[in-house]
Amino acid sequence: MPLVVPGIMTNPEDKNQEWANKLVGKTFSESDESNETMFCKKDLPETHRIIKPGQPVTRDFRPERLNVHLKEDGTVSHVVHG
């Protein structure tokens, strides 16, 4: 059995699923307001980006960055690290 050290050897799929459970279906708020149906930037990790439909994004891979993808109505469709 391999040694797993929390914070050092983490599976990116687990981090994606953790954030997906927190955010998918919620609406992004431009203000500092968050509740059961909305979240704001302060709820996200320091390295993140909000990606709106049709928005151009760079293709650089940064494993620590959380990419939050929004639908047309402003709700989160999915999240990925990279």
Q: At 67, phi and psi to the nearest 5?
A: -100, 120
Residue 1's pLDDT band, with cuts at 50, 70 and 90, is: very low
Q: Which domains does the chain have, with CATH numbers?
A: 17-81 (3.30.10.10)
The full length of the chain comes to 82
The rounded radius of gyration (Å) of the Cα atoms in the chain is 14
Tokens (6 digits) for 66: 């959380």
DSSP state of 70: E
* Chain centroid to CA 2: 28
Question: What pTM value is reported for the model?
Answer: 0.81
39-64: average pLDDT: 94
